């Protein structure tokens, strides 16, 4: 059975960030992920997590309000990317994080791809104890983002040739980009190292997108890269706790009756 993480940036927003990990544990999640943990010092996160595993964090995006979405694929911003990556690696190492999502940023063209591959190789060499991943994002939600196609991501990973850099499969983005999320999975299954789920098309509680949740769990169990987390990254339609029937159903699969 896969392990399930709560994305604390989107879930349990009814309470302050330092309290959300405890709510996630009480709700039945096995761990957490957080998009950008950098507003809280590591000791505060250690107290908040209280031993709950950290599945994934993102590299610092830069000034989000001004349109920054990371720097790894931005030629000329190598120093900014590398400073940010080292900060992410410090957080992940000290908090026992399983993986770092390396954000590409807003860019396009062959020079951007060359910068991306070079920066990914550099990052993997700097943090040999950590796993890294990349994630394609749809242009409606992330305008101008360099990595916007799963086949493009597969080619970049093949060119990189590093087993510690994998593919983050986000069911929401896969369905938005390619229509059939299950077909995307089938094409790229060998390199998938982290999974995120959300309902399609509303991005509320998980379900839809052409890939049933039980089938997705079975597919995760069969992945060559283990362990692989399934992270809930969605916007609750109501309060978070009121919409967790999907988690209860999935975690009860295979349990004896009576």
Domains and CATH numbers, the chain: 3-251 (3.20.20.150)
Report strand pairing: 131-134 vs 99-101: parallel
- Which bin fits 62, alpha (ψ -120 to 50), beta or left (φ > 0)? left
**How much is the pLDDT for 226?**
80
Q: Which one of 135, 140, 189, 205 is the catalytic residue? A: 135
Task: Tell me if 9 sits within 8 A of 35, measured CB to CB.
Answer: yes
pLDDT in tens, 5-49: 999 999 999 999 999 999 999 999 999 999 999 999 999 999 999
**How much is the pLDDT for 258?**
34
**How much is the pLDDT for 257?**
38
Per the annotation, the verdict on 205 as an active-site residue is no
Tell me the CA end-to-end span of the chain in Å, nearest whole number: 20
Q: Which one of 33, 113, 205, 233 is the catalytic residue? A: 233
**How much is the pLDDT for 29?**
97
Which DSSP helix (H) or strand (E) runs through 125?
A: helix 110-126
**How much is the pLDDT for 225?**
77
What is the length of the chain? Answer: 258
| Ranges of residues in the chain whose predicted pLDDT is under 70 | 254-258
Per the annotation, the verdict on 78 as an active-site residue is no
CA 231 to chain centroid, in Å, comes to 7
**How much is the pLDDT for 209?**
84
- Which bin fits 195, alpha (ψ -120 to 50), beta or left (φ > 0)? beta
pLDDT in tens, 65-80: 999 999 999 999 999 9
**How much is the pLDDT for 135?**
98
**How much is the pLDDT for 140?**
93
**How much is the pLDDT for 98?**
83
């Amino acid at each position: 059975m896969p392990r399930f993480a709560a994305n604390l940036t989107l879930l349990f927003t009814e309470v302050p960030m330092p309290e959300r990990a405890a709510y996630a544990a009480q709700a039945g999640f096995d761990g957490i992920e957080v998009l950008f943990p950098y507003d809280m010092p590591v000791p505060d996160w250690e107290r908040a997590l209280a031993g709950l595993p950290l599945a994934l964090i993102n590299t610092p995006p830069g000034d989000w309000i001004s349109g920054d979405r990371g720097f790894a694929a931005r030629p000329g911003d190598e120093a900014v990317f590398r400073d940010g990556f080292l900060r992410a690696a410090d957080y992940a190492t000290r908090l026992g994080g399983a993986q770092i999502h390396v954000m590409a940023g807003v860019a396009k063209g062959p020079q951007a791809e060359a910068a991306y591959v070079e920066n990914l190789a550099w990052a993997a060499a700097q943090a040999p104890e950590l796993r890294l991943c990349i994630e394609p994002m749809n242009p409606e939600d992330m305008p101008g983002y360099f990595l916007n196609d799963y086949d493009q991501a597969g080619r970049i990973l093949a060119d990189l040739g590093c087993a510690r850099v994998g593919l983050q499969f986000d069911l929401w983005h896969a369905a938005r980009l390619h229509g059939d999320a299950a077909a995307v999975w089938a094409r790229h299954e060998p390199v998938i190292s982290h999974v995120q789920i959300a309902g399609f098309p509303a991005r509320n509680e998980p379900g839809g997108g052409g890939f049933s949740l039980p089938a997705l769990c079975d597919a995760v169990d069969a992945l060559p890269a283990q362990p692989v987390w399934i992270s809930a990254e969605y916007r609750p339609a109501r309060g978070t706790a009121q919409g967790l029937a999907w988690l209860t159903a999935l975690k009860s699969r295979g349990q004896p009756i009576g």
